[in-house]
Amino acid sequence: MRVRVAINGYGTIGKRVADAVAKQPDMELVGVAKTRPSYEAERAVAKGYRLFVAGSGNRQEFEHVGIPIAGTLADLLAQADIVVDAAPEKVGRENAALYRAAKVRAIFQGGEKADIAEVSFSALANFEAARGKHTVRVVSCNTTGLARAAAVLEPRYGVEDWEATIVRRAADPAESGRGPINGILPTFHLPSHHGPDVRTILPHLPISTTAMVVPTTLMHVHVNRVRLRTAPENTAELVEAFRRTPRFHVFREWERIAGTPQVMEFGRDRGLGFNDVMENVLWENGIAVDGRTAHFFQAIHQESIVVPESIDAIRAMFDLAQDGPTSIAITDRALGLSKP
């Protein structure tokens, strides 16, 4: 059975999830929906995707500039088993009523509150929780990064206490209207919402987060200090635990990855779709174990980290894989993320 997938909202996340769905052996992309004509709408048609009009958009506006339209969002939903909502933050909640009316399952993104769906999801941490569900929320980029790291630490060592500082990118690269372009803005909500958001997936994880926004568009960086219940043998053991886990990329010192600019240059060199880096990125020399305390930096490519998670959520909801590792392996093979 190939699950028929629709994408509603074709921006940063939607266009990436569309390409990822099109690459999966057990899924079929039935179409994408967009509100306004743009280069992205033109590119969707050039890729052979059927384009539908969403939200307040009107068909004539697209056709006036020569972009063919296959129908309305309602037409698209009628042909789909599931819709991945990738509309802007909070718009997903308005769209939820449309999905219910069309009796189609739905995945929402991290810009929505947790109560929009039956479960919040991150493939390494709680794949089974999404099995058979009709609505799932794939958590935000930062929450995904933290949940993945928890899936490495918690089962191996147990977590007694985790403090994470989230250094947030100010905007995505194409968002020229957002800032700051200078200055560091502390998030005056202490602790930040990220810790409670991780607990929508791992309810008992003792994590506390603070955040600040800095003038960069490339990636977020997390500064982590974790008090573990049992001590790793040494730093090398923890490095290997991260390195062996799918969706983690650990750079070695000789690779000369000084920071996020080189990570994104690595992404351009590797040349996956959109030059994305969908893994949690760690540095071997940015991981240190001191008794039961682990320190590590991790960088998160906000535009792409949730893409493989959305694919695994579909597979869990339709019972297409026997377990999380199997689904992750299928997804990662199709996306070019498999480890050698």
Q: Where do contacts with ligand NAD occur on this chain (CB under 6 A)? A: 8-14, 33-36, 54-55, 86-89, 91-92, 95, 109-112, 140-141, 172, 302-303, 306
Task: Between 14 and 31, name the residue whose CB sits nearer to ligand NAD.
Answer: 14
Sign of CA pseudo-dihedral 174, 179, 185, 187 = negative
CB of 169 to ligand NAD, least distance (A): 8
Minimal CB distance residue for ligand NAD: 11
For 314-339, the three-class secondary structure string (H helix, E strand, C coil) is: HHHHCCCCCCHHHHHHHHHHHHCCCC
Q: How many CA atoms lie within 13 A of 7 on its CB side?
A: 30
- CB 305 within 8 Å of CB 274: no
Task: Between 85 and 154, name the residue whose CB sits nearer to ligand NAD.
Answer: 85
β-pairing verdict for 71-72 and 135-138: unpaired
The alpha carbon of residue 171 and the mean position of all alpha carbons in its chain are separated, in whole angstroms, by 16
CB of 314 to ligand NAD, least distance (A): 16
Sign of CA pseudo-dihedral 211, 282, 304, 225 = negative
CB of 167 to ligand NAD, least distance (A): 14
Active site residue 302: no
Task: Give me the catalytic one of 141, 147, 149, 159.
Answer: 141
Task: Between 108 and 157, name the residue whose CB sits nearer to ligand NAD.
Answer: 108
CB of 3 to ligand NAD, least distance (A): 21
β-pairing verdict for 293-300 and 248-251: unpaired
- CB 280 within 8 Å of CB 248: yes
Task: Between 37 and 246, name the residue whose CB sits nearer to ligand NAD.
Answer: 37
List residues with catalytic annotation.
Answer: 141
